Structure 1
Amino acid sequence: MNNTYQHILKSIVVLLLTTMLFSCQDRLNTVRKWEKGFEKPQTSGEGINLFYTDSGAVKANLRSPRLLDYTHKKFPYREFPDGLEVDFFNEKNQKSTIVADYGIVYSTTGLIDLQGNVKITTSDSTVLNADQLYWDQNENWVFSDINYNIKLNNGALNKGEGFDANEKFDKFISRSNVGIQYIDESEK
């Protein structure tokens, strides 16, 4: 009888442990469902038309069909999944424009990743086209590691793979390129 009592007791313990395991699995699944809610943006907007002003003067105008704000995450960012267009105005109110099919702005690092049919047109008529480029807002620096082409305001053409440049494109370093350059010989 003692053996039977021990067998019944072991069966009850195994049954309780099994019940607890299944109960924990259900709770784990519930927690996982809650986590999926955090993958969603904190806010979103459609038909975005933002202006950045300084002392009453417009410095930038951003337009986008859609904005997704993930600034509640550990590594905060804002995403423009349907593209964006940004006009920048310098101190002389001259406009430069950036257009891209996709953009993401990382709040912590100040890095902007632009992808798909990226086109930059500066106020002096320089036009850069690339599939992807990065803009470091903190360093005022633009760069890419993939193919690009640029037409400078003097008519020079340059195609290459990878470049680094300042925001004004008056300092432009190409990693490898082919192109047509115009040299002013009067400066000799």
Structure 2
Amino acid sequence: MIQRFLRINKKWAILLPALLLFSCENKIEEVQDLGKKRTGVEEGVQIESYMSEGGVMKARLTAPEMLRTQNDTPRTIFPKSLQVIFYNDSLKMESHLFAKYGHYLQNDNKVFLRDSVVVFNVKGDTLFCDELWWDQNKQIFYSDKPVNVHKKSGENLRGAALTAKQDFSKYSFTNATGNLLVGDSLLPSNNDSTPPPPAQTPAPSPVQ
């Protein structure tokens, strides 16, 4: 069972009385307009959110700002970037995600990420893309937009779409292109001057 915990900077509790006092000093029309604009919207700063499974922390999300709406489709918006660190069962980092924008769809349990999306794992593989979905139920990433993966070995892979495990340990492309490194053992050596063995001619059949 996946559980989530949210922590919001406590300074909001300190600022709340001051904000209420400030509102009382404004015109009643301005206060009413402000209430209409923010109806059903919760705000927070310096967000820390944790996702656990079976009592073990699996991910930690941080963001400078959060907006949460409670309309027909509840949505949590991170308008000024977010970062997510994924952990294994030993609480060691498996992968790290960054995006300049993201929003969480509560009913679908999915996170949409866009604008300079980067995901890298402990092996040194790094994914770059403009848009990415994170399906928390299936624990996968996927995108139907062009993606680019730089591998630590020097390979550069591109694809028209991608599906990857949440820890980014495995991934697959659609219409993949790019350069692949070939091991030296598969290439002919320039110093190898040994001529190939002569072709063997089958022995003649004995005359009866």
Normalising by structure 1, what TM-score?
0.69
- 1:1-188 equivalences under 5 Å are 37=36, 40-53=39-52, 58-70=57-69, 72-95=70-93, 96-182=95-181
For the structure 1 residues 137 and 129, does the alpha-carbon distance in structure 2 shift closer, same or farther, using more than 3 Å as the test? same
Residue 94 of structure 1: CA displacement? 2.5
Segments of structure 1 that go 5 or more residues without pairing to the other structure are 1-32
Q: State the alpha-carbon separation in 2 of the partners of residues 163 and 57 from structure 1.
A: 28
Residue 38 of structure 1: CA displacement? 7.3
Percent identity (aligned): 25
Q: State the alpha-carbon separation in 2 of the partners of residues 104 and 78 from structure 1.
A: 5
Q: State the alpha-carbon separation in 2 of the partners of residues 130 and 42 from structure 1.
A: 30
Would you say the 8 A contact 1:159–1:179 is kept in 2?
A: yes
For the structure 1 residues 57 and 168, does the alpha-carbon distance in structure 2 shift closer, same or farther, using more than 3 Å as the test? closer
Q: State the alpha-carbon separation in 1 of the partners of residues 53 and 142 from structure 2.
A: 26
Normalising by structure 2, what TM-score?
0.63
Segments of structure 2 that go 5 or more residues without pairing to the other structure are 1-31, 186-208
Of the structure 1 ranges 50-59 and 75-84, higher mean CA displacement relative to structure 2 is found in 50-59
Q: CA RMSD in A?
A: 2.7
* Partner AA of 2:126 in structure 1: V
Q: State the alpha-carbon separation in 2 of the partners of residues 55 and 163 from structure 1.
A: 29
Of the structure 1 ranges 116-125 and 48-57, higher mean CA displacement relative to structure 2 is found in 48-57
Q: State the alpha-carbon separation in 2 of the partners of residues 132 and 161 from structure 1.
A: 12
